[in-house]
Amino acid sequence: MREIMTKSMARNIFYGGSLFFIILFVGLSIHSHRYIVTTSTTAAPLTKSVALGKHVWEKHACINCHTILGEGAYFAPELGNLMKRWGVQDDPEAAKEQLQSWMESMPTGIEGRRQM
């Protein structure tokens, strides 16, 4: 190999490197699209209860204090695993009862405690 890089060598390195990374970018874009369409999302449409829950979440600005699946503020508890923590994930009636009793008990009036 030569000690001095000529213009044609620099041009070939530039074009070769550019072509390599363009092919890599297109390949990864196709792979990401295929993964999103087939694996990471479900084909089932959202249910009406999910849409209503989103409306409640936005109407009452719950994201200002709570997190859900890691997104939101960290002032109040995470809501993504709430029913599991309460032990009522398999019993909708108990979950509703637990949630209603919790809502009725707020605010507790305890000095220095974060609450709604």
Q: What does the pLDDT look like over 54-102, one tens digit per residue?
A: 898 889 888 888 888 888 887 888 888 888 888 888 888 988 898 888 8
Higher-pLDDT residue of 67, 12: 12
pLDDT of residue 116: 64
Q: Which residue has the tokens 């609450």?
A: 115
Higher-pLDDT residue of 41, 24: 24
Encoded tokens for 104: 């009725």
Q: Which residue has the tokens 């707020």?
A: 106
Contacting residues for 67 by C-beta, under 8 A, at least 6 apart: 73, 74, 78, 79, 80
